[in-house]
Amino acid sequence: MPPPPPPPLPPLCLSLPSPPPPQIFPRRLRSHKTRRGLSLAPNASTRRPSSVCPVASQRHSDYFDPRAPPPPPRRREAYGMPPSSPPAAPGAQNGRVFSTYSIYKGKAALSLDPRPPQFVPLDSGAYKMAKEGFVLLQFAPAVATRQYDWTRKQVFSLSVWEMGSVLTLGPTDSCEFFHDPFKGRSDEGKVRKVLKVEPTPDGNSRFFNLSVQNRLLNVDESIYIPITKGEFAVIVSTFNYIIPHLMGWGTFTNSIKPEDSQAYTKPQSGPEFEWRR
């Protein structure tokens, strides 16, 4: 009898090393077309060498991590710019805002600059207005076409009541104001300023005429500028708006707080309590 066949050998189990974990790049990988479709990873022929991995790891991620701290701000000096100044404190001198309204004509220019009122502190911590504000009129003569000599300007401070007089002018009315900066002093009468606001002969515009006689500097000059109807309407609108602020009323209304007011009580009857109604 032939010998029995040998028993089958057990299957061989080869322990192959596990593949290395895939490298994750911070940037998104482009898709590459194959014959079977789209592949999310490049094949072996298009894979970059390992020497470029450190460079790729330095790129910024496409995803934003809100837990990451913000990058430090770059200094202005790095761009060749002067360092930025710190923000001004409320009420500081460099935090003031200047505004003006200017009118330019062939022979002169006129600039209107509002100046705020002055306040003084009280022992209680509150403030009281010590001096009303005003609007400074600045007249500059023309030296060439669209060129004005502001070093030779003449100024006139228009008070609140003088602005009210300008607001009440009719189409054919005129007004005149006289100022002596040294009134009540030893140099009284040596400087005289007269401002006239009068209508033009056709009645469609007005003239602002400033005459200055200064014997201290030996100056005798008169500057006038025509103001159209539209420009005068802007002046009227500006005066109507700025007058309450020059009187301190705008500051007062901004300081009103509901928690600072007294509790409302029903007024008693009688003529002496009429103002409470």
Pairwise CA distance, residues 6 & 120, whole Å: 119
- Which residue in the block uniquely carries the two structure tokens 């029995």? 4
pTM over 0.85: no
Pairwise CA distance, residues 274 & 263, whole Å: 19
Pairwise CA distance, residues 6 & 127, whole Å: 116
Residue 72 has pLDDT above 90, yes or no: no
Residue type, 28: R
Instruction: State pLDDT tens for residues 108-135.
Output: 999 999 999 999 999 988 899 999 999 9
pLDDT of 130 reads: 92
31, 39 Cβ separation under 8 angstroms: yes
pLDDT bucket at 263, cuts 50 / 70 / 90? low
Q: What's the mean pLDDT in 231-237?
A: 96
Pairwise CA distance, residues 98 & 219, whole Å: 29
Query: DSSP string spanning 10-38?
Result: PPP---PPPPPPPPPPSSPPPPEE-SSSE
pLDDT of 99 reads: 87
pLDDT of 258 reads: 81
Pairwise CA distance, residues 136 & 140, whole Å: 13
The partner residues of 156 in beta bridges, in order of sequence, read: 137
